[in-house]
Amino acid sequence: TQLLEQSPQFLSIQEGENLTVYCNSSSVFSSLQWYRQEPGEGPVLLVTVVTGGEVKKLKRLTFQFGDARKDSSLHITAAQPGDTGLYLCAGVGGFKTIFGAGTRLFVKA
């Protein structure tokens, strides 16, 4: 069974701090996606990384796919209260998408 482990499960930080969320697996994926979910809503795709070692930036968010395509990280610079939410990583392989349990981020003003 493919598993994606996310860490930390919960993170509470002050506005302006930096943070990194990790997503790890023993399986190789064709691509790795990051979603953000707000309370009462469905997840919304932030980014898809496809190539081993790939780095993508989305404003203050930096996403990296591991060289072996088994792991990924999400780094947020100068977090803002609007970044609060549940961040989910998802590994795509074959006709399956495997989701991690998520990292719940709370940014205090």
Q: Which residues bind another protein (CB under 8 A)?
A: 4, 30-31, 40-45, 48, 50, 88, 90, 92-93, 95-97, 99-102
- Peptide bond preceding 43 in cis form (omega within 30 of 0): no
The distance of closest approach from Cβ of residue 4 to another protein in the complex, given in angstroms and rounded to an integer, is: 8
The distance of closest approach from Cβ of residue 45 to another protein in the complex, given in angstroms and rounded to an integer, is: 5
Closer to another protein by Cβ: residue 40 or 82: 40
Q: Which of 22, 33, 29 is nearest to 76 (CA)?
A: 22
Closer to another protein by Cβ: residue 9 or 80: 9
Closer to another protein by Cβ: residue 20 or 37: 37
The distance of closest approach from Cβ of residue 69 to another protein in the complex, given in angstroms and rounded to an integer, is: 11
The distance of closest approach from Cβ of residue 108 to another protein in the complex, given in angstroms and rounded to an integer, is: 23
Alpha carbons 8 and 56: distance in angstroms, whole number: 21
Whether 103 and 36 have beta carbons less than 8 Å apart is answered as no
Contacts of 64-68 with CB under 8 Å at 24 or more apart are 65/32, 68/28
